[in-house]
Amino acid sequence: MACLIAAPCSGSGKTLLTLALTALLRQRGRSVQTFKVGPDYLDPQLLSRVSGRPCRNLDRLLCGSSWVERSFHWWGRQADHCLVEGVMGLFDGRGPGDEGSSAELAAALQLPVVLVVEASRQAGSVAALVNGFRHHRSDLTMAGVVLNGVSTARHQALLSDALAAIGMPVLGLLPRHPGLSLPSRHLGLLPAHELHNLEGTCAEWAALAERHLDLERLLPLLAPPSSSASGSPASSTGGDPIRWALGLEGEAAAPEPVTLAIAADAAFHFRYPEATELLEAMGVELQPWQPLADAPLPPDCQGVILPGGYPELHAPELAAARRSLADLRHAAAAGLPIYAECGGLLLLGQALEDPQGEAYRMAGLLPFTARRGALQLGYRQATPSHNGLVARCGEPVCGHEFHRWELHPTPTAPSALRASAALNPSAALCAATGLNAATGPSAAASMSASNGVMDGIQQLWQLEGWGCPPRSEGWTTRTLHATWLHLHWAGCSAICRRLHAAARQTAPFAVAAAAAAAPTPWRPGSAGS
């Protein structure tokens, strides 16, 4: 049975241990399925690269217990080894309790816990710490401890003797080594695609595991889940969780195919692998779109997905991507469905400030400027205020908020923004909508005449969370969903169905944009006759 790699707090070395074990097993030619507890994009990206298969998030709050059990058993059985990296401290969940915590998941899936303890400034006190974690919940099994930050042989002996006195196995250690630190920035680890010489680093991680871990006792804990590991109906069925989430089990007919563009580059890469799989099971063909490269929208796309990421670190390049921004405005004017969350939301505003406070013009579809602010972090219960592209009144969802940028209302388009070329005031409407003065009013029918902001936008939903005062958040229309909130679509698969349905009703981008830009034919009795 797989194990859960947990710790007393963040920064203890959970990710390093998980990577070291995964790299070692891959070096030995074994397949490894990794999982990550909670709502995380960055650790799973790195674990996916090292393991060679998508890391799966296990989040009971976002996806529900049935999905988590199905996901763990379905994908866990498809590899030689299986391990789960926890989130934050072992008992850290929503609010002060352990709901949604690594401990709750370990108890539900009957996973033994390997506790990684950062012990660089401890000796005998480590026994009190570990003993407290061992007995805090009676339904958990502590398989042993891995000590991180051990500096000398004497230090190791002190720690080992202290743990031996309480009968706790030491399963290895992670020595102090500057080359083993994992670089990070304001939302967590650096994305995997920004790490240089990852292959060489994997070899170092594998060597670390070989030299310093008790592999004879650790590796048996990484066995894949057995079919009899859980008696719940969800896990015993063993069915594909993707088709189960969509209600497609037993359906032979494939849904009507549609094409969606999805922003996929260094600025937009926060998404769960299941989002792609759920859409593909619905008959959606996803075409990657690179705004940073100023790429045009695919001409045959019938909608646009803007996932999260780090657009704030690429604001100058995005402002200079005039063709991409213009195409996004054309898509909005033509009524193509647009789904945007977190970083994708920032692309739709009037302006985006970079970390130095310089403002750059964005697509101009929503009335805000975004700039660095206080950290917003935590689970949120979202209650829709209006029916929109994918949300419906009476259908609350659980999502996760994690960002350091905040939105400031801008009732008119900002001036004096840094961009690749100056925009003169007489061209403000044309610039905001991406249209030239000869296009005519019909193409901008869904835009406000003042600044290019979409007409008919409404408040998306009310957010509530522990320690977070209730507030209105997000924007929606029949063709738009824009929010800070990250959703895991396995827990709200209606999103996929509604995106698919909205795209089916839309002509391909090239056709829809051309039709929207065409002047309205004059008819007797029409305005101006």
pLDDT digits (tens, 9 = 90+) for 396-440: 999 999 999 999 998 654 443 444 332 322 233 333 333 222 222
Q: What pLDDT score was predicted for residue 200?
A: 84
Q: Which two tokens stand for residue 210?
A: 């070989």
Q: Which two tokens stand for residue 48?
A: 């996916």
**Residue 237's pLDDT band (cuts 50, 70, 90):** very low
Residue 164 has pLDDT above 80, yes or no: yes
Give the tens place of pLDDT for each residue, 330-380: 999 999 999 999 999 999 999 999 999 999 999 999 999 999 999 999 999
Q: Which residues have C-beta within 8 Å of that of residue 420, sequence separation ≥ 6?
A: 319, 320, 322
> Minimum mean pLDDT among 58-62, 168-172, 189-193, 258-262: which range?
189-193
Inter-residue contact 411 to 496 (CB < 8 Å): no
Residue 162 has pLDDT above 50, yes or no: yes
Give the tens place of pLDDT for each residue, 287-313: 999 999 999 999 999 999 999 999 999
Amino acid at 290: Q
Inter-residue contact 487 to 379 (CB < 8 Å): no
> Minimum mean pLDDT among 167-176, 187-196, 331-340: which range?
187-196
Alpha carbons within 13 A on the beta-carbon side of 256: 8
**What is the b/e burial string over 148-165, where b = at least 16 CB atoms within 10 angstroms of the residue's CB?**
bbbeeeebbebbbebbee
Average pLDDT, the chain: 86
| Mean pLDDT of all residues in 67-78 | 97
> Minimum mean pLDDT among 114-118, 129-133, 184-188, 497-501: which range?
184-188
| Mean pLDDT of all residues in 170-185 | 72
Give the tens place of pLDDT for each residue, 476-524: 999 999 999 999 999 999 999 999 999 999 999 999 988 887 765 555 5
Q: Say what the pTM is.
A: 0.87
CA torsion sign for 492, 458, 501, 482 is: negative
Q: What pLDDT score was predicted for residue 413?
A: 44
Q: What pLDDT score was predicted for residue 442?
A: 30
**Residue 100's pLDDT band (cuts 50, 70, 90):** very high
Compare 229 and 127 and report the one with higher pLDDT: 127
Residue 180 has pLDDT above 70, yes or no: no
Q: What pLDDT score was predicted for residue 515?
A: 86
| Mean pLDDT of all residues in 195-215 | 87
**Residue 243's pLDDT band (cuts 50, 70, 90):** very high
Residue 529 has pLDDT above 60, yes or no: no
Q: What pLDDT score was predicted for residue 194?
A: 62
Q: What pLDDT score was predicted for residue 444?
A: 33
Where in the chain do CATH 3.40.50.300 domains reside?
3-237
For residues 515 and 523, give the distance between their C-alpha atoms in angstroms, rounded to a whole number.
18
Compare 245 and 441 and report the one with higher pLDDT: 245
Q: What pLDDT score was predicted for residue 454?
A: 75
Amino acid at 373: G
Q: What pLDDT score was predicted for residue 178?
A: 61
For residues 205 and 32, give the distance between their C-alpha atoms in angstroms, rounded to a whole number.
15
**What is the b/e burial string over 247-281, where b = at least 16 CB atoms within 10 angstroms of the residue's CB?**
ebeeeeeebeebbbbbbbbbbbbbbbebbbbbbeb
> Minimum mean pLDDT among 105-109, 191-195, 525-529: which range?
525-529
Task: Please identify which of the residues 301, 342, 398, 492 carries the catalytic annotation.
Answer: 342
For residues 484 and 342, give the distance between their C-alpha atoms in angstroms, rounded to a whole number.
4
Q: What pLDDT score was predicted for residue 293?
A: 97
Q: Which residues have C-beta within 8 Å of that of residue 436, sequence separation ≥ 6?
A: 430
Q: Which two tokens stand for residue 223?
A: 């066995």
Q: What pLDDT score was predicted for residue 517?
A: 78
Residue 82 annotated among the catalytic residues of the structure = no
Q: Which residues have C-beta within 8 Å of that of residue 28, sequence separation ≥ 6?
A: none
Q: What pLDDT score was predicted for residue 412?
A: 52
Compare 239 and 392 and report the one with higher pLDDT: 392
State the architecture of 3-237 in CATH terms.
3-Layer(aba) Sandwich (3.40)
**Residue 197's pLDDT band (cuts 50, 70, 90):** confident
Q: What pLDDT score was predicted for residue 42?
A: 87
Angle subtended at Cα 494 by Cα 493 and Cα 496, rounded to the nearest 5 degrees: 70
Concatenated DSSP letters for 491-511? G-THHHHHHHHHHHTS--HHH
Amino acid at 205: W
Residue 450's φ and ψ, nearest 5 degrees, are -85, -40
Inter-residue contact 31 to 80 (CB < 8 Å): yes
What is the percentage of the chain residues whose pLDDT exceeds 90? 73
Q: What pLDDT score was predicted for residue 317?
A: 97
Compare 282 and 453 and report the one with higher pLDDT: 282
Give the tens place of pLDDT for each residue, 76-85: 999 999 999 9
